[in-house]
Amino acid sequence: MYLKTTIFTIIAWFIGLILDANIPFGDPMGFLGLRNLFPILAMGLCILHEVKNGSGKR
């Protein structure tokens, strides 16, 4: 569980970083914040998947 979550979170961060750097978005910052959003979504989806499947039950 932990390895899968870590790998998906790191991959999501890299995808967000690449998209954030390549999508022009304007003057003030120029960033959409995807490098923060995607890892949070990946972590949340992994947690929800584990809760749904019940692998954390004792």
Chain segment 27-46, per-residue pLDDT in tens: 666 567 888 999 999 999 99
Residue position matching structure tokens 């390895």: 3
Report the pLDDT value the prediction gives residue 28, as an integer from 0 to 100: 64
Contacts of 28 (CB under 8 A, 6+ apart): none
φ, ψ of residue 24 to 5 degrees: the values are -75, 135
Q: Record the tokens describing residue 26, joined without a space.
A: 């304007």
Is 18 in contact with 49 (CB distance < 8 Å)?
Answer: no
Of 4-18, 22-36, 44-58, give the lowest mean pLDDT range. 22-36
